[in-house]
């Protein structure tokens, strides 16, 4: 069990980077580290630094229940992937029109972030690559599941999820979807990701861009 709460995302990333390095060992030559914006990118930057690996972003947008936007009914991810919790949508009586409205709105934001974070850089070629997918924590797992499915669609050879913390039940749900899952802590009761950080201030677009700009290796500039 990691010592909680983490001071901030940088501290969590350093601790997670040490654990990922122990897991990967010396065989990190073809690894790409992808952070989920926004909060996952500062964590991912520390892992990329520990592995001397390229850093990029996997854009994921939660589809919030109308009127309860923090409650996910699904997610979108780069690569044109949509994940819907259909049993929940049916249970709550959410109409197809509402699902479409939320999806269109979040897709607009996904495209905006793609342009803001990546600029003129093309989307990275992840075919046959080993990918470490990082966030600052997992709650329901909907966003992470969408990202995993996007990576599968993009042809990633191996997918490893790395997070500082998550509920044990969410870890159990996600583990069969990937090749490995590294999680430092599964606190009980979980009560949300932010509870386990002393500083959980929202990460800005500028901070995300700064992490990518100052990363020692960026995926599409790396010599293969």
Q: Do residues 55 and 61 lie in contact, with contact meaning Cβ atoms separated by under 8 Å? A: no
Q: Do residues 55 and 217 lie in contact, with contact meaning Cβ atoms separated by under 8 Å? A: yes
pTM score of the predicted model: 0.85
Q: Which domains does the chain have, with CATH numbers?
A: 9-60+124-221 (3.40.50.2020)
Q: What is the pLDDT along the chain (224 residues), one digit of tens a residue?
A: 678 999 999 999 999 999 999 999 877 778 999 999 999 999 999 999 999 999 999 998 889 999 998 788 988 887 778 888 899 999 999 999 999 999 999 999 998 988 899 877 777 889 999 999 999 999 988 889 889 988 998 899 999 999 999 999 999 999 999 999 999 999 999 999 999 999 999 999 999 999 998 874 544 443 34
3-state DSSP assignment of residue 119: coil
Place of tokens 């495209």: 111
Residue 171 and residue 139: Cα distance in Å, rounded?
A: 9
Q: Do residues 60 and 36 lie in contact, with contact meaning Cβ atoms separated by under 8 Å? A: yes
Residue 73 and residue 52: Cα distance in Å, rounded?
A: 36
Contacts of 34 (CB under 8 A, 6+ apart): 44, 55, 56, 57, 58, 131, 132, 133, 134, 147, 151
pLDDT for res 220: 47
């Amino acid at each position: 069990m990691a010592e909680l709460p983490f001071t901030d995302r940088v501290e969590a990333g350093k601790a997670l980077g040490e654990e990922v390095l122990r897991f990967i060992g010396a065989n990190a030559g073809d690894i790409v580290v992808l952070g989920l914006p926004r909060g996952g990118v500062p964590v991912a930057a520390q892992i990329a630094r520990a592995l001397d690996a390229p850093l990029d972003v996997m854009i994921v947008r939660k589809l919030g229940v109308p009127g309860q936007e923090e409650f996910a009914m699904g997610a979108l991810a780069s690569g044109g992937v949509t994940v819907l919790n259909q049993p929940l949508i049916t249970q709550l009586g959410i109409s197809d029109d509402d699902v479409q409205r939320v999806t269109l709105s979040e897709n607009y934001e996904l495209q905006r972030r793609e342009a803001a974070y990546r600029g003129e850089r093309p989307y990275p070629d992840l075919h046959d690559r080993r990918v470490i997918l990082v966030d600052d924590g997992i709650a329901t797992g909907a966003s992470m599941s969408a990202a995993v499915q996007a990576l599968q669609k993009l042809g990633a050879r191996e997918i490893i999820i790395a997070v500082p913390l998550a509920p044990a039940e969410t870890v159990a749900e996600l583990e069969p979807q990937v090749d490995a899952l590294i999680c430092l802590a599964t606190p009980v009761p979980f009560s949300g990701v932010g509870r386990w950080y002393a500083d959980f201030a929202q990460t800005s677009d500028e901070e995300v861009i700064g992490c990518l700009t100052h990363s020692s290796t960026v995926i599409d500039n790396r010599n293969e």
